[in-house]
Amino acid sequence: MVQINNVAQKRKADEVLEKWQFAPITFPPVQHCGLSEEPVIISCKIADSTILIRKVHIDTGSSVDVMYEQCFSKLPDNIKSKLLPTAVSLSGFSGKATWPLGQLELDVELTDEVDVKRVRKMILNLYVMRSTSRFNILLGRTALCKLGVISSTFHEWLSSQHAKA
């Protein structure tokens, strides 16, 4: 769980919802006997869908979206040059404040592997952390809300309303 220190964000009263945001979200019946307690891990495309990032952790407890330094360092220079300074610190389980290397605004695309017409594209603000992780990116509640997806550990996947690119 990662959160921004001392910054409150609320939904804007004049925010207009899109048509897809009114569609119901459903999960299919569970087809296997063993219930999962594993984290939901996905892949996503960034930077106009030219780069595939694997090991993206879905963390519904985090209020920010994070890219770890090991992933950031492998990006092309034209993307790394978009790193902007940030004036906020982040904290996790220990409560200790950590300063990100900066923040990176990137196009992110999630595609349903079964139905490639189901696509979510969004610009996300990722905080680049000088920290090691077995994951490359951590998507928290901010990204899940923007992308219109719900995570289910029980089902081991994400679900969203139907959307076409």
Q: What is the pLDDT of residues 131-163, one digit of tens each?
A: 888 999 999 988 888 877 777 666 555 655 544
57 lies in a domain? yes
Cβ neighbours of residue 100 closer than 8 Å, sequence gap 6 or more: 66, 86, 88, 89, 90, 127, 128, 129, 130
Q: Which two tokens stand for residue 113?
A: 């592997």
Is the residue at 25 inside a domain?
A: no
Eight-state DSSP code of residue 82: T
At residue 165 the predicted structure's pLDDT band, cuts being 50, 70 and 90, is very low
Residue at 21 is within a domain: no
13 found inside a domain: no
Q: Which residues contact 159 (CB under 8 A, 6 or more apart)?
A: 25, 26, 27, 149, 150, 152
pLDDT in tens, 70-83: 999 999 999 999 99
Rounded to 5 degrees, φ, ψ at 53 are -110, 120
* Lowest model confidence (mean pLDDT) among 57-66, 94-103, 151-160: 151-160
Mean pLDDT within 74-97: 89
Asked if residue 7 is part of any domain, the answer here is no
In-domain check, residue 16: no
Confidence of residue 40 (pLDDT cuts 50, 70, 90): confident
Instruction: Give the span between the Cα atoms of 61 and 1, in whole angstroms.
Output: 5
Distance (Å, rounded) from C-alpha 56 to C-alpha 35?
21
151 within some domain: yes
Which CATH number fits the domain that encloses residue 49?
2.40.70.10
For residues 139 and 25, is the Cβ–Cβ distance under 8 A?
A: no
At residue 137, the pLDDT reads: 94
**For residue 129, pLDDT beyond 70:** yes
When divided into structural domains, the chain yields a total of 1
**Domain containing 97: what range?**
38-160
State the virtual CA torsion across 103, 64, 16, 83 in degrees, nearest 10: 10
Q: Extract the tokens encoding 66.
A: 């994070």
In a domain, 142, yes or no: yes
Most confident stretch, 41-50, 60-69, 117-126: 60-69
Residue 24 has pLDDT above 70, yes or no: no
